Structure 1
Amino acid sequence: MTYVLVSILFISFGVMLYQDIKYRHIHIGLPILVFVVSIYMNKDIIVLFDGLKSLAFIGINFISIAAYFSIKKSKFQNPFKQYIGIGDLVFLIAVIPLFSFRNYMLFFISGMILSLVLYAIFQNKDEQKTIPLAGYLSLYIIGLMIPNLFLSTNIFYDFII
């Protein structure tokens, strides 16, 4: 059963990677599927307080983005209109059940750095000026899931730093 669920996650992340790079949006059903499968897979180890802290972490980040651009432009800026897609936010919420809070913060920060590096590498080949954040983060999670299948530790929930 675990391999079926992991396969569903692999396929979902792969489709999100493709959609986000090609169309710069993802289908809303994919993050919902990831969220449901992730909760089911980790139902024995999920800590509600970790999930709430991760949600608060995302909220603080998005409030900070809105505040930064509002101060910069001297009027309120909705970050979802110009700076970040709603699909990216839905994706970041959907993957919360995959991680402990500590590992989620590590994933978030290192994933943002990886996304910027990948964007810098592929920027000249692409005519669009937006970053396919959910797609790059999907690729990152796939990269994390592969070694996790062969390790005796759960790199998503066990302390890795």
Structure 2
Amino acid sequence: MLLAVLLLCLLLMVFQDWKSRMIHVALPVVVFVLSMLQIKQDYNATVWSITAYNVAFFGITFVGLVAYMSWKNKGFLNPFEHYFGLGDLLFYLSITPLFLLKNYVVYFIGSMFFSILLQLTLKKRMKHQTVPLAGFASLLLVVLILKDLFLNVYKITLINKI
């Protein structure tokens, strides 16, 4: 049941981000809570350390991105005004319980490439010029979770069962 609601929330993010380039702030919160509950069933105490490592990686990456953009523009540049949405930030933080660090890094980089490819492919159908990063990354996550559930190949997420 938790997993079904988690997948529904991720699909809702895809829809909202595609339509309006915004996601409701409650969605990442619900995704985080559901992810914690789902993973805690199988990994119990280690879910907090898994989450902390992933948040640290994302935080270092985000601070590095802001520092680089600010240095390049010779002054502090607010990333939320030009390059990154608050929903994107909240999305990447909300999914931290779902991956071991190595897999989170692979997913993070892969979702960026996936989003770029999807943006280029769907460019003519899109009303907005910006990339719906949280939406495209959510779509990829839904596909990966379903793959992990139904195929007996290398698992990228920590989800073990329905």
- Could you say whether these structures have the same fold, taking a TM-score greater than 0.5 normalized by the shorter chain as the test? yes
1:31 aligns with 2:28: yes
Alignment length (residue pairs): 155
- 1:93-137 per-residue CA deviation (whole Å, 9 max, x = no partner) reads 000011111111111011111011111111222231111000001
CA contact (8 A) 1:28 1:87 kept: yes
Q: Which amino acid aligns with 1:156?
A: T
Aligned to 1:155: 156
TM-score (norm 1): 0.89
Superposed counterparts of 1:1-161, under 5 Å:
4-43=1-40, 44-45=42-43, 46-151=46-151, 154-157=155-158
Q: Which amino acid aligns with 1:79?
A: P
CA contact (8 A) 1:17 1:136 kept: yes
Runs (4+) of structure 1 exceeding 6 A deviation are: none
Paired with 2:97 and 2:38, the residues of 1 have a C-alpha distance of 9
Query: In the superposition, relative to structure 1, how do residues 47 and 5 fare at CA in structure 2: closer, same or farther (>3 Å)?
Result: closer
- 1:16-61 per-residue CA deviation (whole Å, 9 max, x = no partner) reads 0000010000011111111111111110314433221211111111
Structure 1 position 154, deviation (Å)? 4.6
CA contact (8 A) 2:39 2:47 kept: no
RMSD of aligned alpha carbons = 1.6
Q: Which amino acid aligns with 1:144?
A: L
TM-score (norm 2): 0.89
Structure 1 position 155, deviation (Å)? 3.3
Query: In the superposition, relative to structure 1, how do residues 39 and 47 fare at CA in structure 2: closer, same or farther (>3 Å)?
Result: closer
